[in-house]
Amino acid sequence: MRVYILPVGETTVFLKATGPRPLIEQQSDVIDEFAASVRLESAQSGSPAPGSVLRWQIPDDWIVDSPRPMREVTFISGEKARCWITLLRGDGGGRLANTNRWLGELGVDPISTQQLDDLPVKKMLGGDATVIEGEGTYSSMSGPSREGWALIGLIRLLPDRAVFIKLVGPAHEVEASRDSLMELVSSLEVVR
């Protein structure tokens, strides 16, 4: 018998392969491949996460990951890319400080206020969100350095809070997820 415990989003899937021991041992590679391929289809829900003031549409090719501290939601996009939404009261530390912190996570030099004002914008939640992009060696508080990673982030300041969206992963996965990210951004709504 082989048993797999697979945390998938907010759910845990238990997979058990039973049968004669020689058969299970002979087919172990096939069973392992099957277990590694298990994915739950994400519900295309516009309902917010419990307690969230936001509602969104989950991109078709993304799944919701398990809850994380300080995040409204975390999505899995590809093998290693992750996207998350964070809400903070007030300006959340400001656009410039957050932009430079994100760029610093990639080893990219900080930018000035003028350079920040020259960054592209994307319509989000009824106004303009600053779009931050970078590529380099990604280092965060929660893991080893990762070469060839990229980031696309958006910062939208609302009257009483700041909304941060951050997509991070291997550069090719981030680029492949760009359209899905923009679909997510376009779908965002404040619900209360």
| Same domain (yes/no): 80, 154 | yes
**Range from 33-37, 68-72, 121-125 that averages highest in pLDDT:** 121-125
| Same domain (yes/no): 89, 25 | no
| Same domain (yes/no): 138, 102 | yes
Buried b (16+ CB within 10 A) or exposed e, 79-115: eebbbbbbbeeeebeebbebbbebbebbebeebeeee
pTM: predicted TM-score of the whole model, two decimal places: 0.75
CA distance 169 to 175: 9
**Range from 8-12, 25-29, 72-76 that averages highest in pLDDT:** 72-76
C-alpha distances out from residue 151 to 32, 36, 144, Å: 32, 26, 16
| Same domain (yes/no): 14, 84 | no
In 3D space, the residue among 151, 190, 187, 191 whose CA is nearest the CA of residue 58 turns out to be 187
Which of the four pLDDT bands, split at 50, 70 and 90, describes residue 5? low
Average pLDDT, the chain: 86
| Same domain (yes/no): 124, 180 | yes
Q: Output 103 or 7, whichever has higher pLDDT.
A: 103
Residue 43 in domain: no
Residue 48 in domain: no
| Same domain (yes/no): 115, 22 | no
Q: What does the pLDDT read at residue 41?
A: 44
Residue 164 in domain: yes
Split into its structural domains, the chain has a count of 2
**Mean pLDDT (whole number) for 123-141:** 95
| Same domain (yes/no): 74, 16 | no
Residue 49 in domain: no
Q: What does the pLDDT read at residue 39?
A: 52
Which of the four pLDDT bands, split at 50, 70 and 90, describes residue 6? low
| Same domain (yes/no): 107, 14 | no
| Same domain (yes/no): 58, 33 | no
16 and 5 Cβ atoms separated by less than 8 Å:
no
Look up the CATH number of the domain holding residue 149: 3.40.1000.10
| Same domain (yes/no): 19, 92 | no
Domain that holds residue 154: 54-190
166 and 102 Cβ atoms separated by less than 8 Å:
yes
DSSP 124-153: ETTEEEEEEEEEEEE--TTS--EEEEEEEE
**Mean pLDDT (whole number) for 163-174:** 98
Which of the four pLDDT bands, split at 50, 70 and 90, describes residue 21? confident
Tell me the sheet residues that pair with 166.
84, 153
CA distance 132 to 97: 12
